[in-house]
């Protein structure tokens, strides 16, 4: 690794000059700023006292000695206390020769580091997946792929919220107003049908509240005692008691939803190694609560509800079991966490959940600590910002969500209309064109969702995401297709560039920039994993695509008269295409061969 080599040269030079060994932790490297000549910059300020030198004098002496010690450094310059090093072309050419034919350059496929469980998706079975779920699924899937590419053993899991009062609301609405409708009789996806019932419940529930308020009852009491809400609560109690009729309806409607989810997941390109269901884990959570109660970790109020007192840790009291014995989200999360700890013995247990649940996961970790589970330290909440629309936030119960299926279809249709308007599919047959529209539409969606730092709230703009010239998925895809076109033409012209050695030559500025960019990929991938940030991968492929397009505009490739230089540029183009395909696949984006 370049930084490791430079670090050792720096240490040796410092020792030779000043008979002192500098603190390795203080030797920091950064990419040289574009307005200065150089590739790597060393900050010498931390070493002025040890060397008894002024910053500029120290940098000048160190630069001279480092060049004397190693031909890795071609030139250097000093700007105040910053030592800018220009790395010799030979280093970049050696790197390129050793790595240009490696298809998955930069990945560690050993799976020998940590065992990591990543939970994402976590849908409720009372509604279809929506825009927010798309960000969650893409983020969880991509983070899993990035962690795997860094040599970790990763298990992707999903926890389906298939029980609870919200599920009962859809079930009750279907009983009352569904008229026996099924996905088969209605022609609707099952998750859409059930989602309509959830919206219908809320509509009728609000009518009951308004009617009660009109009689003089206050709003809180009206909401609490509305007949529909009481019926839903009774249905939940019946479900937990194992009522045969309620359970049969629950199984039937959930099966409709699962069939619908499968279609959405397949089109989105995400999958799971294991799916958990809250209906199977909440009892384990109840057992943990009962054990905590016996140990005195939890306490019971007069109404028989069970709580965990976290006031000694600066938080409040947390409800774990309601007075009627029914569980809450925390109850099943306790059970699911223990189950995963036993099954996978993970080094990390990552929950991909929106930032509105920050408090919940803080509490989950603290409760498990109180219960004495050391593996609680493995829990990590990958908290991400919400997806907002120009007209505000989405509300499922009011039916104002952007449906995931509709959005994906809209993206594919937008890709079709824009591609045809730009004449990008004239050379394709119908099936090839349809496949390309899907690649572009879903590639645009995934890139737009993942290029934003996960912690940030994002505003989704479908039209902006499909721009062939901006910071978008289609721009990266078009760059890949352009390179593949060049390589096909080389093959058609019988140019044998693959077997030719990398020439010994002085690199032009753009050739070098491209190789330097390729060289940074392993570090970029490692940093993306450390930060759980697909945005870093997205930014990398955009910068690489942009760099290649500048290279393409400035230099001849197929028309280059020097065959050695032509073959080198073809190799450089090929490695760039491989790198775009390699990195983009970690975002779930497919690169087209033609476009």
β strands within 418-555, DSSP E = 458-459
CA distance 345 to 115: 8
Within-domain flag for 151: yes
Asked if 590 contacts 443 with a C-beta cutoff of 8 angstroms, the reply is yes
Q: Does residue 527 sit in the same domain as residue 417? A: yes
Res 427 pLDDT > 90: no
What is the pLDDT at residue 384? 96
Res 541 pLDDT > 70: yes
Res 398 pLDDT > 50: no
Within-domain flag for 116: no
What is the pLDDT at residue 145? 98
Report the predicted TM-score, pTM, of the whole model to 2 decimal places: 0.92
Element (H, E) at 256: helix 244-268
Within-domain flag for 93: no
Res 168 pLDDT > 60: yes
Res 393 pLDDT > 60: no
Q: What is the mean pLDDT of residues 540-562?
A: 96
Q: What is the mean pLDDT of residues 98-105?
A: 94
Q: Does residue 382 sit in the same domain as residue 450? A: no
Helix, strand or coil for residue 46? helix
**443 is written with which tokens?**
């590639």
Neighbours of 207 (CB within 10 A): 12
**Radius of gyration of the CA atoms of the chain, in A:** 30
Q: In the chain, pLDDT over 70 holds for what percent of residues?
A: 98
Q: What is the mean pLDDT of residues 216-226?
A: 94
Res 395 pLDDT > 60: no
What is the pLDDT at residue 391? 56
Q: Does residue 197 sit in the same domain as residue 243? A: yes
Q: What DSSP letter does each residue of 323-361 carry, written as one string? A: TTS-B-HHHHHHHHHHHHHHHH--SEEEEEEEGGGHHHH
Domain with 545 in it: what CATH number? 1.10.730.10
**495 is written with which tokens?**
């140019």
Res 438 pLDDT > 50: yes
Q: Does residue 254 sit in the same domain as residue 358? A: yes
Confidence of residue 442 (pLDDT cuts 50, 70, 90): very high
Q: What is the mean pLDDT of residues 202-224?
A: 95
Res 358 pLDDT > 60: yes
Res 370 pLDDT > 90: yes
Which tens digit of pLDDT belongs to each residue from 445-454?
999 999 999 9
Domain with 9 in it: what CATH number? 3.30.1360.70
Within-domain flag for 237: yes
**402 is written with which tokens?**
């952007």
CA distance 450 to 447: 5
Count structural domains, the chain. Answer: 3
Q: Does residue 162 sit in the same domain as residue 291? A: yes
Q: Does residue 170 sit in the same domain as residue 315? A: yes
What is the pLDDT at residue 404? 93
Confidence of residue 595 (pLDDT cuts 50, 70, 90): confident
Neighbours of 447 (CB within 10 A): 27
Q: Does residue 79 sit in the same domain as residue 191? A: no
Within-domain flag for 57: yes
Which tens digit of pLDDT belongs to each residue from 239-257?
989 999 999 999 999 999 9
What is the pLDDT at residue 420? 85
Closest by CA to 427, choosing from 202, 595, 251, is 595
Q: What is the mean pLDDT of residues 545-573?
A: 95
Which tens digit of pLDDT belongs to each residue from 39-79?
999 999 999 999 999 999 999 999 999 999 999 999 999 99
Domain with 155 in it: what CATH number? 3.40.50.620
Res 136 pLDDT > 70: yes
Confidence of residue 400 (pLDDT cuts 50, 70, 90): low
H helices of 380-461, in order, are 404-421, 430-450
What is the pLDDT at residue 503? 80
Res 583 pLDDT > 60: yes
What is the pLDDT at residue 501? 87
Asked if 547 contacts 446 with a C-beta cutoff of 8 angstroms, the reply is no
Res 500 pLDDT > 90: no
Q: Does residue 365 sit in the same domain as residue 489? A: no
Q: Does residue 550 sit in the same domain as residue 424? A: yes
Cβ neighbourhood burial of 567 (10 Å; 0-12, 13-18, 19+): buried
- Strands 317-321 vs 306-309: parallel, antiparallel or unpaired: antiparallel
User: Which of 376, 398, 420 is a domain's end point?
Assistant: 398
Task: Tell me which residue range forms the domain holding 136.
Answer: 124-398
Within-domain flag for 510: yes
Q: What is the mean pLDDT of residues 206-233?
A: 95
What is the pLDDT at residue 426? 79
User: Which of 378, 398, 418 is a domain's end point?
Assistant: 398
Res 116 pLDDT > 50: yes
Within-domain flag for 97: no
Q: Does residue 409 sit in the same domain as residue 558? A: yes
Average pLDDT of the chain is 93
Res 399 pLDDT > 60: no
Within-domain flag for 456: yes
User: Which of 37, 62, 87 is a domain's end point?
Assistant: 87
Q: Does residue 58 sit in the same domain as residue 14? A: yes
Q: What DSSP letter does each residue of 71-115 carry, written as one string? A: TTEEEEEEETTEEEEEEPHHHHHHHHHHHTT-TTTT-B----S-E
What is the pLDDT at residue 470? 87
Q: Does residue 532 sit in the same domain as residue 486? A: yes
Confidence of residue 86 (pLDDT cuts 50, 70, 90): very high
């Amino acid at each position: 690794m370049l930084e490791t080599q430079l670090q050792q040269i720096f240490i040796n030079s410092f020792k030779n000059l000043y008979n002192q060994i500098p603190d390795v932790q203080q030797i920091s490297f950064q990419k040289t700023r574009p307005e200065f000549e150089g590739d790597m910059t060393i900050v010498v300020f931390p070493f002025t006292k040890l060397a008894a030198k002024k910053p500029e004098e120290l940098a000048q002496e160190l630069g001279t000695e480092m060049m004397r010690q190693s031909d890795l450094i071609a030139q250097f310059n000093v700007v105040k206390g910053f030592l800018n090093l220009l790395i010799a072309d030979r280093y970049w050419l050696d790197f390129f020769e050793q790595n240009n034919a490696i298809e998955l350059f930069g990945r560690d496929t050993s799976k020998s580091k940590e065992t990591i469980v990543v939970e994402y998706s976590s849908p409720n079975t009372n509604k279809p997946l929506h825009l927010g779920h798309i960000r969650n699924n893409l983020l969880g899937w991509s983070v899993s792929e990035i962690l795997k590419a860094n040599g970790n053993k990763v298990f992707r899991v999903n926890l389906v919220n298939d029980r609870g009062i919200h599920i009962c609301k859809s079930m009750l609405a279907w009983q009352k107003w569904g008229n026996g409708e099924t996905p088969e009789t209605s022609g609707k996806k099952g998750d859409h049908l059930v989602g309509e019932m959830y919206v219908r419940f809320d509509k009728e529930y609000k009518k009951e509240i308004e009617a009660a308020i009109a009689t003089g009852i206050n709003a809180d009491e009206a909401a609490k005692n509305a007949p529909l809400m009481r019926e839903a609560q009774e249905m939940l109690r019946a479900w937990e008691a194992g009522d045969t009729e309620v359970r049969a309806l629950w199984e039937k409607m959930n099966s409709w939803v699962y069939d619908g989810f499968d279609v959405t997941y397949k089109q989105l390109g995400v999958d799971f190694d294991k799916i958990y269901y809250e209906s199977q884990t909440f009892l384990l959570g109840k057992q943990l609560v009962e054990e905590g109660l016996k140990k005195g970790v939890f306490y019971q109020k007069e109404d028989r509800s069970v709580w965990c007192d976290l006031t000694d840790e600066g938080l409040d009291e947390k409800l774990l079991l309601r007075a009627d014995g029914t569980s809450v989200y925390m109850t099943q999360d306790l059970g699911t966490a223990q189950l995963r700890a036993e099954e996978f013995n993970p080094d990390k247990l990552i929950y991909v959940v929106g930032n509105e649940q920050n408090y919940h996961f803080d509490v989950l970790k603290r409760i498990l600590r109180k219960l004495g589970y050391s593996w609680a330290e493995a829990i990590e909440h990958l908290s991400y910002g919400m997806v907002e629309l120009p007209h505000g936030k989405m509300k499922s119960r009011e039916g104002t969500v952007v449906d995931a299926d509709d959005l994906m279809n809209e993206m594919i249709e937008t890709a079709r209309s824009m591609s045809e308007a730009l004449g990008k599919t004239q050379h394709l047959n119908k099936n090839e064109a349809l496949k390309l529209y899907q690649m572009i539409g879903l590639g645009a969606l995934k890139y737009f969702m993942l290029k934003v730092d996960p912690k940030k709230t994002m505003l989704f703009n479908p039209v902006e995401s499909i721009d062939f010239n901006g910071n978008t998925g289609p721009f990266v895809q078009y760059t890949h297709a352009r390179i593949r076109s060049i390589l096909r033409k080389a093959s058609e012209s019988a140019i044998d560039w693959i077997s030719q050695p990398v020439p010994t030559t002085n690199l032009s500025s753009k050739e070098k920039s491209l190789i330097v960019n390729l060289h940074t990929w392993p570090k970029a991938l490692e940093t993306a994993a450390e930060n759980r940030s697909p945005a870093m991968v997205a930014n990398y492929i955009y910068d690489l695509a942009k760099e290649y397009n500048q290279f393409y505009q400035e230099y001849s490739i197929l028309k280059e008269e020097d065959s050695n230089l032509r073959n080198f540029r073809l190799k450089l183009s090929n490695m760039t295409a491989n790198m775009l395909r390699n990195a983009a696949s970690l975002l779930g984006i497919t690169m087209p061969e033609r476009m």
